[in-house]
Amino acid sequence: MTPRRRRAAAVAAVVGLLALAVALVLGALRQNLNFFLGPGELLQQRPDPQQRLRLGGVVESGSIRREPGSMTVHFVVADGAGRVPVRYSGLLPDLFGEGQGVVAGGRLGSDGVFDAHEVLAKHDENYRPPVGESRPAWVKP
């Protein structure tokens, strides 16, 4: 084998190993990404009832209803394109409330109700101190 062919074979092997490494990394990252669908997208797609997914949107005002004597909560998640009723049994995050952003993980039932196994409250990125809280001297107004 000539030195030129040996060098070409080595370059081809390195490129092949690099492509394999990139494919493995991308495959691992794809499994760990957690995207969520808005109510409008969820209603358009109508996923299989066994498929686990995440629903994200805003808790509709006046929609929170708690079942007496249990930890089950019913509420509606909405966006500009649709609204989906959600059923969740468990403790809710402190930031959960009407008009607040929420991401719920679970399955869309055949009855059209999203059965959530987890609820995460979203918050905006802007910190606003509670009203009446004094500012430290080093913070400029």
d(CA 24, CA 16): 12
Residue 114, judged by CB atoms within 10 A of its CB (0-12, 13-18, 19+), counts as buried
Give the domain range for residue 19.
1-33
- The pLDDT score that the predictor gives to residue 141 is 57
Instruction: Using alpha carbons, list the distances in angstroms from residue 69 to 18, 73, 117, 118.
Output: 58, 11, 19, 20
Same domain as 57, residue 14:
no
Q: Which helix (H) or strand (E) covers residue 120, if one does?
A: strand 114-121
Asked if the structure places residue 15 within a domain, the reply is yes
d(CA 58, CA 61): 9
Reported as a single tens digit per residue, the pLDDT across 88-140 is: 999 988 888 888 889 999 998 888 899 999 999 877 666 666 665 555 555 55
Closest by Cα among 84, 43, 37, 40 to 60: 84
- CA angle 121/98/112 to nearest 5° reads 80
Structure token digits, residue 107 = 């399955």
Structure token digits, residue 29 = 């990252």
Same domain as 58, residue 82:
yes
Same domain as 47, residue 28:
no
- The pLDDT score that the predictor gives to residue 103 is 92
List beta partners, residue 115: 87, 107
Asked if the structure places residue 138 within a domain, the reply is no
Same domain as 52, residue 100:
yes
Q: What is the pTM of this model?
A: 0.65
- The pLDDT score that the predictor gives to residue 33 is 62
